[in-house]
Chain A
Amino acid sequence: MSEQVLDHRSAKEKERLLGMNLDELNALLLQVSELPEFAQKDAYIQGILEVMQQKSENPYGLTREDILAEREDFWESYCELRSEAEADIVPESPPISTSSPEKPKKKPMIRFLRGIAAAAVVAALFCGIVGAFGSNVLHVVMRLGKGSVVFAPAEKPQGEPHAFEDLYNILSLYSELPLVPKENPMDATASSVCTGKDIYGFYIDATYLCEKGTVGFSYHFYETADQMPRAECQVNEGELQLYKADGTSFYIFQNLGQTSIVWFVENVSCFIWGDFSVEEAKQMVDSLY
Protein backbone atom coordinates (compact mmCIF):
# COMPACT_ATOMS: atom_id res chain seq x y z
CA MET A 1 0.00 0.00 0.00
CA SER A 2 2.73 2.43 0.93
CA GLU A 3 4.57 1.75 -2.31
CA GLN A 4 1.33 2.18 -4.22
CA VAL A 5 0.38 5.52 -2.76
CA LEU A 6 3.86 6.94 -2.70
CA ASP A 7 5.00 5.92 -6.13
CA HIS A 8 4.33 9.43 -7.50
CA ARG A 9 6.94 10.77 -5.11
CA SER A 10 10.58 9.91 -5.22
CA ALA A 11 12.09 7.35 -2.91
CA LYS A 12 13.66 10.37 -1.22
CA GLU A 13 10.23 11.68 -0.32
CA LYS A 14 9.22 8.34 1.16
CA GLU A 15 12.44 8.35 3.12
CA ARG A 16 11.65 11.87 4.30
CA LEU A 17 8.21 10.82 5.54
CA LEU A 18 9.67 7.80 7.32
CA GLY A 19 12.22 10.11 8.94
CA MET A 20 9.51 12.27 10.50
CA ASN A 21 7.98 11.67 13.88
CA LEU A 22 4.24 11.50 14.47
CA ASP A 23 3.89 15.16 15.39
CA GLU A 24 5.73 16.26 12.28
CA LEU A 25 3.65 13.93 10.13
CA ASN A 26 0.51 15.32 11.70
CA ALA A 27 1.64 18.90 10.94
CA LEU A 28 2.45 17.89 7.37
CA LEU A 29 -0.95 16.19 7.04
CA LEU A 30 -2.74 19.36 8.10
CA GLN A 31 -0.62 21.42 5.74
CA VAL A 32 -1.11 19.18 2.70
CA SER A 33 -4.86 18.80 3.25
CA GLU A 34 -5.21 22.60 3.06
CA LEU A 35 -3.15 23.02 -0.09
CA PRO A 36 -4.84 23.57 -3.45
CA GLU A 37 -5.28 20.56 -5.68
CA PHE A 38 -2.21 18.89 -7.13
CA ALA A 39 -1.71 15.60 -8.88
CA GLN A 40 -2.44 12.67 -6.56
CA LYS A 41 -3.06 14.88 -3.56
CA ASP A 42 -5.40 12.25 -2.14
CA ALA A 43 -2.82 9.54 -2.67
CA TYR A 44 -0.21 11.67 -0.93
CA ILE A 45 -2.49 12.18 2.06
CA GLN A 46 -3.13 8.44 2.15
CA GLY A 47 0.62 7.92 2.02
CA ILE A 48 1.17 10.19 5.02
CA LEU A 49 -1.59 8.37 6.92
CA GLU A 50 0.01 5.04 6.09
CA VAL A 51 3.40 6.20 7.36
CA MET A 52 1.73 7.60 10.47
CA GLN A 53 0.18 4.23 11.08
CA GLN A 54 3.47 2.43 10.47
CA LYS A 55 5.34 4.72 12.80
CA SER A 56 2.73 4.74 15.51
CA GLU A 57 4.35 3.69 18.76
CA ASN A 58 0.90 3.62 20.28
CA PRO A 59 1.77 6.16 22.99
CA TYR A 60 -1.83 6.69 23.95
CA GLY A 61 -2.76 3.05 24.54
CA LEU A 62 -4.99 2.85 21.48
CA THR A 63 -5.77 -0.41 19.81
CA ARG A 64 -5.05 -1.00 16.15
CA GLU A 65 -8.79 -0.76 15.54
CA ASP A 66 -8.82 2.71 17.11
CA ILE A 67 -6.01 3.89 14.87
CA LEU A 68 -7.71 2.50 11.77
CA ALA A 69 -10.99 4.12 12.82
CA GLU A 70 -9.19 7.42 13.41
CA ARG A 71 -7.70 7.19 9.96
CA GLU A 72 -11.07 6.46 8.38
CA ASP A 73 -12.70 9.29 10.34
CA PHE A 74 -10.05 11.72 9.12
CA TRP A 75 -10.48 10.56 5.56
CA GLU A 76 -14.28 10.84 5.75
CA SER A 77 -14.20 14.35 7.20
CA TYR A 78 -11.52 15.38 4.71
CA CYS A 79 -13.66 14.11 1.79
CA GLU A 80 -16.75 15.86 3.16
CA LEU A 81 -14.92 19.16 3.60
CA ARG A 82 -13.35 18.83 0.21
CA SER A 83 -16.60 18.06 -1.61
CA GLU A 84 -18.25 21.01 0.10
CA ALA A 85 -15.43 23.41 -0.67
CA GLU A 86 -14.58 22.26 -4.17
CA ALA A 87 -17.74 20.90 -5.72
CA ASP A 88 -16.33 21.42 -9.19
CA ILE A 89 -13.28 19.21 -8.64
CA VAL A 90 -13.83 15.48 -8.90
CA PRO A 91 -11.61 13.58 -6.46
CA GLU A 92 -9.49 10.75 -7.76
CA SER A 93 -11.21 8.57 -5.16
CA PRO A 94 -8.30 6.56 -3.88
CA PRO A 95 -9.15 3.51 -1.85
CA ILE A 96 -9.07 4.00 1.92
CA SER A 97 -7.41 0.64 2.25
CA THR A 98 -6.73 -2.03 -0.31
CA SER A 99 -6.94 -4.81 2.23
CA SER A 100 -10.04 -4.02 4.28
CA PRO A 101 -13.49 -4.57 2.75
CA GLU A 102 -16.44 -2.30 3.60
CA LYS A 103 -17.32 -2.49 7.24
CA PRO A 104 -20.83 -2.53 8.66
CA LYS A 105 -22.03 0.69 10.35
CA LYS A 106 -20.60 1.14 13.80
CA LYS A 107 -22.87 1.35 16.83
CA PRO A 108 -23.52 4.91 18.09
CA MET A 109 -21.93 4.25 21.53
CA ILE A 110 -18.76 2.84 19.97
CA ARG A 111 -18.64 5.81 17.58
CA PHE A 112 -19.07 8.17 20.54
CA LEU A 113 -16.23 6.57 22.52
CA ARG A 114 -14.10 6.50 19.44
CA GLY A 115 -14.81 10.19 18.88
CA ILE A 116 -13.61 10.96 22.41
CA ALA A 117 -10.46 8.92 21.82
CA ALA A 118 -9.85 10.73 18.52
CA ALA A 119 -10.33 14.13 20.17
CA ALA A 120 -7.86 13.15 22.90
CA VAL A 121 -5.30 12.09 20.28
CA VAL A 122 -5.68 15.35 18.34
CA ALA A 123 -5.43 17.43 21.54
CA ALA A 124 -2.37 15.49 22.70
CA LEU A 125 -0.70 15.87 19.32
CA PHE A 126 -1.45 19.60 19.27
CA CYS A 127 -0.06 20.09 22.78
CA GLY A 128 2.95 18.02 21.79
CA ILE A 129 3.64 20.15 18.73
CA VAL A 130 3.33 23.47 20.53
CA GLY A 131 5.12 22.37 23.68
CA ALA A 132 7.89 20.33 22.19
CA PHE A 133 8.82 22.40 19.17
CA GLY A 134 7.69 25.97 19.82
CA SER A 135 8.84 28.55 17.35
CA ASN A 136 12.14 26.82 16.57
CA VAL A 137 10.58 24.08 14.56
CA LEU A 138 7.59 25.90 13.15
CA HIS A 139 9.45 28.55 11.27
CA VAL A 140 7.74 28.67 7.92
CA VAL A 141 4.52 30.58 7.72
CA MET A 142 2.40 29.82 4.71
CA ARG A 143 -0.53 32.01 3.96
CA LEU A 144 -2.97 29.85 2.06
CA GLY A 145 -5.69 31.77 0.34
CA LYS A 146 -7.03 34.61 2.41
CA GLY A 147 -6.41 34.30 6.07
CA SER A 148 -5.69 30.65 6.73
CA VAL A 149 -2.25 30.05 8.14
CA VAL A 150 -0.51 26.73 8.63
CA PHE A 151 2.97 25.78 9.70
CA ALA A 152 5.40 23.43 8.06
CA PRO A 153 8.03 21.57 10.03
CA ALA A 154 11.45 23.14 9.71
CA GLU A 155 13.42 19.95 10.07
CA LYS A 156 15.32 19.47 6.86
CA PRO A 157 14.24 16.49 4.78
CA GLN A 158 16.80 13.76 4.44
CA GLY A 159 18.83 13.56 1.26
CA GLU A 160 20.41 16.29 -0.84
CA PRO A 161 19.62 19.72 0.64
CA HIS A 162 18.10 22.35 -1.64
CA ALA A 163 19.10 26.02 -1.61
CA PHE A 164 15.53 27.31 -1.44
CA GLU A 165 14.17 24.31 0.37
CA ASP A 166 10.82 25.62 1.61
CA LEU A 167 9.87 26.79 -1.86
CA TYR A 168 11.21 23.64 -3.46
CA ASN A 169 9.20 21.41 -1.14
CA ILE A 170 5.95 23.13 -2.12
CA LEU A 171 6.71 23.37 -5.85
CA SER A 172 7.76 19.75 -6.10
CA LEU A 173 4.20 18.79 -5.16
CA TYR A 174 2.97 20.36 -8.39
CA SER A 175 5.71 19.95 -10.93
CA GLU A 176 8.87 18.05 -11.68
CA LEU A 177 10.19 20.86 -13.89
CA PRO A 178 13.45 22.50 -12.78
CA LEU A 179 11.92 25.73 -11.48
CA VAL A 180 13.88 26.50 -8.31
CA PRO A 181 17.59 27.43 -8.42
CA LYS A 182 19.85 25.01 -6.60
CA GLU A 183 22.24 27.80 -5.71
CA ASN A 184 21.52 30.66 -3.36
CA PRO A 185 24.38 33.14 -3.82
CA MET A 186 22.63 35.74 -1.65
CA ASP A 187 22.24 33.35 1.32
CA ALA A 188 18.58 34.33 1.42
CA THR A 189 16.29 32.74 4.00
CA ALA A 190 12.57 32.03 3.70
CA SER A 191 10.19 34.68 4.94
CA SER A 192 6.83 33.62 3.52
CA VAL A 193 5.29 31.32 0.94
CA CYS A 194 1.75 31.80 -0.28
CA THR A 195 -0.40 29.99 -2.80
CA GLY A 196 -3.63 30.97 -4.48
CA LYS A 197 -6.02 30.26 -7.29
CA ASP A 198 -7.37 32.44 -10.06
CA ILE A 199 -9.25 31.77 -13.27
CA TYR A 200 -5.99 31.21 -15.15
CA GLY A 201 -4.74 28.46 -12.85
CA PHE A 202 -2.88 28.75 -9.58
CA TYR A 203 0.22 30.47 -8.31
CA ILE A 204 2.91 30.11 -5.71
CA ASP A 205 4.67 33.22 -4.43
CA ALA A 206 7.58 33.17 -2.02
CA THR A 207 9.57 35.90 -0.37
CA TYR A 208 13.09 35.38 0.95
CA LEU A 209 15.19 37.86 2.86
CA CYS A 210 18.92 38.41 2.48
CA GLU A 211 21.50 40.88 3.73
CA LYS A 212 20.93 43.15 0.72
CA GLY A 213 17.14 43.07 1.01
CA THR A 214 14.44 40.95 -0.60
CA VAL A 215 14.39 38.08 -3.09
CA GLY A 216 11.00 37.07 -4.48
CA PHE A 217 9.85 34.05 -6.45
CA SER A 218 6.59 33.76 -8.34
CA TYR A 219 5.34 30.79 -10.34
CA HIS A 220 2.03 30.83 -12.17
CA PHE A 221 0.74 27.49 -13.43
CA TYR A 222 -1.62 28.27 -16.30
CA GLU A 223 -4.31 25.86 -17.35
CA THR A 224 -3.83 26.93 -20.95
CA ALA A 225 -0.86 28.85 -22.30
CA ASP A 226 -3.06 31.22 -24.35
CA GLN A 227 -4.97 32.48 -21.32
CA MET A 228 -2.40 34.70 -19.67
CA PRO A 229 -3.32 38.11 -18.31
CA ARG A 230 -1.53 41.23 -19.47
CA ALA A 231 1.84 41.73 -17.85
CA GLU A 232 4.30 44.55 -17.59
CA CYS A 233 7.78 44.39 -16.09
CA GLN A 234 9.35 47.52 -14.70
CA VAL A 235 12.69 47.82 -16.54
CA ASN A 236 15.52 50.34 -16.70
CA GLU A 237 15.64 51.58 -20.26
CA GLY A 238 17.88 49.43 -22.45
CA GLU A 239 18.82 47.01 -19.68
CA LEU A 240 17.13 43.85 -20.86
CA GLN A 241 19.33 40.92 -21.81
CA LEU A 242 18.54 37.51 -23.16
CA TYR A 243 20.35 34.65 -21.43
CA LYS A 244 20.15 31.07 -22.64
CA ALA A 245 20.50 27.99 -20.48
CA ASP A 246 19.60 24.44 -21.40
CA GLY A 247 17.82 25.73 -24.50
CA THR A 248 15.50 28.00 -22.51
CA SER A 249 15.39 31.78 -22.92
CA PHE A 250 15.76 33.75 -19.71
CA TYR A 251 15.21 37.51 -19.71
CA ILE A 252 17.38 39.26 -17.17
CA PHE A 253 16.80 42.93 -16.57
CA GLN A 254 17.29 45.62 -14.00
CA ASN A 255 14.80 47.88 -12.31
CA LEU A 256 16.65 50.66 -10.55
CA GLY A 257 18.89 48.74 -8.11
CA GLN A 258 17.12 45.39 -8.44
CA THR A 259 17.47 42.52 -10.88
CA SER A 260 14.70 40.33 -12.30
CA ILE A 261 14.59 37.06 -14.23
CA VAL A 262 11.58 36.08 -16.33
CA TRP A 263 11.13 32.85 -18.22
CA PHE A 264 8.44 30.51 -19.45
CA VAL A 265 8.57 26.76 -19.34
CA GLU A 266 5.67 24.67 -20.59
CA ASN A 267 2.59 26.22 -18.97
CA VAL A 268 4.46 27.93 -16.14
CA SER A 269 5.54 31.54 -16.05
CA CYS A 270 8.41 32.12 -13.67
CA PHE A 271 9.64 35.33 -12.12
CA ILE A 272 12.50 35.87 -9.70
CA TRP A 273 13.31 39.39 -8.62
CA GLY A 274 15.01 41.27 -5.86
CA ASP A 275 18.23 42.61 -4.47
CA PHE A 276 20.80 40.56 -6.35
CA SER A 277 23.22 41.27 -9.18
CA VAL A 278 23.05 40.19 -12.82
CA GLU A 279 25.94 37.81 -12.14
CA GLU A 280 24.05 36.24 -9.23
CA ALA A 281 21.01 35.99 -11.49
CA LYS A 282 23.01 34.06 -14.08
CA GLN A 283 24.44 31.83 -11.35
CA MET A 284 20.91 30.97 -10.19
CA VAL A 285 19.78 30.30 -13.75
CA ASP A 286 22.73 27.98 -14.41
CA SER A 287 22.01 26.08 -11.20
CA LEU A 288 18.49 25.18 -12.36
CA TYR A 289 19.84 22.39 -14.56
Chain B
Amino acid sequence: MKAMCRRILSLLMIVAILASFAGSVSAMEVEEFPQQGRSSAYFSLLNWDLAPLGNGKLYVYAKAWATGYMTKLGVSSVVIYEKLPNATSYSPVYTYNSYTCSFLYGTNVTTYTFNPTYTKAVPGAQYYSSTAFYAENSSGHETIYKYAPVITAT
Protein backbone atom coordinates (compact mmCIF):
# COMPACT_ATOMS: atom_id res chain seq x y z
CA MET B 1 0.00 0.00 0.00
CA LYS B 2 2.84 2.36 0.95
CA ALA B 3 4.60 1.57 -2.29
CA MET B 4 1.45 2.42 -4.24
CA CYS B 5 1.13 5.77 -2.39
CA ARG B 6 4.76 6.57 -3.16
CA ARG B 7 4.23 5.84 -6.84
CA ILE B 8 1.14 8.06 -6.99
CA LEU B 9 2.99 10.84 -5.17
CA SER B 10 5.96 10.54 -7.56
CA LEU B 11 3.64 10.66 -10.55
CA LEU B 12 1.89 13.74 -9.17
CA MET B 13 5.24 15.47 -8.61
CA ILE B 14 6.38 14.70 -12.16
CA VAL B 15 3.10 16.06 -13.54
CA ALA B 16 3.48 19.20 -11.39
CA ILE B 17 7.07 19.75 -12.57
CA LEU B 18 6.11 19.27 -16.23
CA ALA B 19 3.13 21.62 -15.85
CA SER B 20 5.26 24.37 -14.31
CA PHE B 21 7.87 23.94 -17.06
CA ALA B 22 5.21 24.19 -19.77
CA GLY B 23 3.81 27.27 -18.04
CA SER B 24 7.19 29.00 -18.03
CA VAL B 25 7.74 28.20 -21.71
CA SER B 26 4.39 29.65 -22.72
CA ALA B 27 5.07 32.71 -20.55
CA MET B 28 8.37 33.27 -22.40
CA GLU B 29 6.60 32.97 -25.72
CA VAL B 30 3.98 35.50 -24.72
CA GLU B 31 6.69 37.88 -23.53
CA GLU B 32 8.41 37.70 -26.90
CA PHE B 33 5.34 38.85 -28.72
CA PRO B 34 4.93 42.62 -29.12
CA GLN B 35 2.25 44.41 -27.20
CA GLN B 36 -1.23 43.96 -28.69
CA GLY B 37 -3.28 47.02 -29.55
CA ARG B 38 -6.84 47.30 -30.74
CA SER B 39 -7.54 46.49 -34.36
CA SER B 40 -7.15 49.29 -36.86
CA ALA B 41 -8.16 49.86 -40.47
CA TYR B 42 -5.09 52.06 -40.98
CA PHE B 43 -2.21 50.72 -38.87
CA SER B 44 -0.71 47.23 -38.74
CA LEU B 45 2.27 47.77 -36.44
CA LEU B 46 3.78 50.66 -34.52
CA ASN B 47 7.28 51.14 -33.08
CA TRP B 48 8.27 54.03 -30.87
CA ASP B 49 11.06 54.95 -28.49
CA LEU B 50 13.02 57.73 -26.84
CA ALA B 51 16.68 56.88 -26.24
CA PRO B 52 19.61 58.83 -24.80
CA LEU B 53 22.50 59.29 -27.21
CA GLY B 54 24.86 61.17 -24.85
CA ASN B 55 26.07 64.77 -25.01
CA GLY B 56 22.56 66.06 -24.36
CA LYS B 57 21.07 64.28 -27.36
CA LEU B 58 17.93 62.15 -27.45
CA TYR B 59 16.90 59.83 -30.27
CA VAL B 60 13.24 60.17 -31.08
CA TYR B 61 11.91 57.13 -32.93
CA ALA B 62 8.52 56.44 -34.42
CA LYS B 63 7.82 53.95 -37.19
CA ALA B 64 4.41 53.07 -38.56
CA TRP B 65 3.35 50.21 -40.81
CA ALA B 66 0.04 50.82 -42.51
CA THR B 67 -2.54 48.32 -43.73
CA GLY B 68 -1.86 49.45 -47.30
CA TYR B 69 -0.70 52.48 -49.22
CA MET B 70 -1.65 55.66 -47.36
CA THR B 71 -1.84 59.11 -48.86
CA LYS B 72 -0.31 60.33 -45.61
CA LEU B 73 1.52 58.21 -43.05
CA GLY B 74 3.74 59.22 -40.15
CA VAL B 75 3.25 61.30 -37.04
CA SER B 76 1.15 64.41 -36.52
CA SER B 77 3.15 65.39 -33.43
CA VAL B 78 5.79 64.19 -31.00
CA VAL B 79 5.99 66.05 -27.69
CA ILE B 80 9.07 65.74 -25.48
CA TYR B 81 8.49 66.25 -21.75
CA GLU B 82 11.32 67.17 -19.39
CA LYS B 83 11.88 67.06 -15.65
CA LEU B 84 15.05 68.83 -14.57
CA PRO B 85 17.04 67.30 -11.67
CA ASN B 86 15.61 69.74 -9.10
CA ALA B 87 12.10 69.96 -10.54
CA THR B 88 9.05 68.16 -9.20
CA SER B 89 7.06 67.75 -12.38
CA TYR B 90 7.36 67.31 -16.11
CA SER B 91 6.73 70.04 -18.64
CA PRO B 92 6.74 69.96 -22.46
CA VAL B 93 10.02 71.33 -23.82
CA TYR B 94 9.76 70.62 -27.52
CA THR B 95 7.10 69.61 -30.01
CA TYR B 96 7.69 68.18 -33.45
CA ASN B 97 4.69 69.19 -35.51
CA SER B 98 3.92 70.73 -38.89
CA TYR B 99 5.15 74.13 -37.66
CA THR B 100 8.54 72.92 -36.48
CA CYS B 101 9.28 69.99 -38.77
CA SER B 102 8.85 69.27 -42.47
CA PHE B 103 9.32 65.49 -42.53
CA LEU B 104 6.56 64.21 -40.27
CA TYR B 105 4.85 62.21 -43.01
CA GLY B 106 5.45 60.13 -46.04
CA THR B 107 2.99 60.30 -48.91
CA ASN B 108 1.72 57.24 -50.78
CA VAL B 109 3.73 54.85 -48.62
CA THR B 110 3.04 51.72 -46.58
CA THR B 111 5.70 52.39 -43.91
CA TYR B 112 7.24 55.54 -42.55
CA THR B 113 10.04 56.20 -40.07
CA PHE B 114 10.32 59.46 -38.15
CA ASN B 115 13.62 59.56 -36.27
CA PRO B 116 14.98 63.01 -35.51
CA THR B 117 17.56 63.80 -32.81
CA TYR B 118 16.63 66.22 -30.05
CA THR B 119 19.83 68.08 -29.19
CA LYS B 120 18.89 70.26 -26.22
CA ALA B 121 18.51 67.67 -23.47
CA VAL B 122 20.08 68.40 -20.08
CA PRO B 123 22.30 65.56 -18.82
CA GLY B 124 20.75 64.13 -15.65
CA ALA B 125 17.26 65.40 -16.49
CA GLN B 126 14.42 62.95 -17.14
CA TYR B 127 12.40 62.79 -20.34
CA TYR B 128 9.51 60.96 -21.89
CA SER B 129 7.66 61.48 -25.14
CA SER B 130 4.16 61.34 -26.49
CA THR B 131 3.80 60.31 -30.13
CA ALA B 132 0.69 60.81 -32.24
CA PHE B 133 0.82 58.38 -35.17
CA TYR B 134 -1.26 59.48 -38.12
CA ALA B 135 -2.52 57.67 -41.22
CA GLU B 136 -4.84 58.90 -43.91
CA ASN B 137 -6.29 57.45 -47.10
CA SER B 138 -9.34 58.01 -49.27
CA SER B 139 -11.56 56.27 -46.66
CA GLY B 140 -10.57 58.55 -43.79
CA HIS B 141 -7.85 58.89 -41.18
CA GLU B 142 -6.80 57.71 -37.73
CA THR B 143 -4.53 58.94 -34.95
CA ILE B 144 -3.05 56.62 -32.29
CA TYR B 145 -1.16 58.03 -29.29
CA LYS B 146 1.79 56.21 -27.74
CA TYR B 147 4.05 57.11 -24.84
CA ALA B 148 7.72 56.24 -24.49
CA PRO B 149 8.67 55.61 -20.85
CA VAL B 150 10.95 57.87 -18.84
CA ILE B 151 14.66 57.92 -19.63
CA THR B 152 17.52 59.96 -18.18
CA ALA B 153 19.60 62.08 -20.54
CA THR B 154 23.35 61.63 -20.46
Contact = CB atoms under 8 A, between A and B. Distances in A.
The answer to whether A and B interact is: yes
Interface string B28-54: 010011111111110111111101010
Most chain A CB atoms below 10 A, which of B103, B111, B146, B148: B111
A242 B29 contact: yes
A264 B45 contact: no
Contact of B40 (A194, A229, A249, A256): A256
Contacts, number: 110
B48 A216 contact: no
Residue among A214, A235, A254 with most chain B CB within 10 A? A235
A107 interface: no
Contacts of B110: 192, 205, 207, 214, 216
A110 interface: no
Interface in B1-56: 29, 32-41, 43-49, 51, 53
B68 interface: yes
B39 A236 contact: yes
B65 interface: yes
Contact of B37 (A196, A198, A233, A273): A233
A94 interface: no
B45 to A, nearest CB: 5
Contact of A231 (B29, B35, B111): B35
A205 B111 contact: yes
A53 interface: no
A72 B92 CA distance: 54
A172 B30 CA distance: 30
Contacts of A151: none
Contacts of A233: 33-37, 44-45
A258 to B, nearest CB: 6
Interface string A89-100: 000000000000
A240 interface: yes
B148 A235 contact: no
A260 B65 CA distance: 11
B53 A229 contact: no
Given A235-B36, A249-B32, A214 B68 contact: yes
B61 interface: yes
Contacts of A255: 39-40, 44, 67
Interface of B: 29, 32-41, 43-49, 51, 53, 59, 61, 63, 65, 67-69, 103, 110-111, 113, 115, 146, 148
11 contacts: A213-B68, A214-B67, A214-B69, A230-B148, A233-B37, A234-B38, A234-B46, A240-B33, A255-B44, A271-B65, A273-B67
Given A230-B47, A230-B146, 10 more contacts: A199-B51, A199-B115, A218-B65, A229-B63, A233-B34, A233-B35, A251-B33, A256-B39, A258-B44, A258-B67
Q: Which 4 A-B pairs have the closest CB atoms?
A: A229-B49, A231-B34, A214-B68, A234-B40
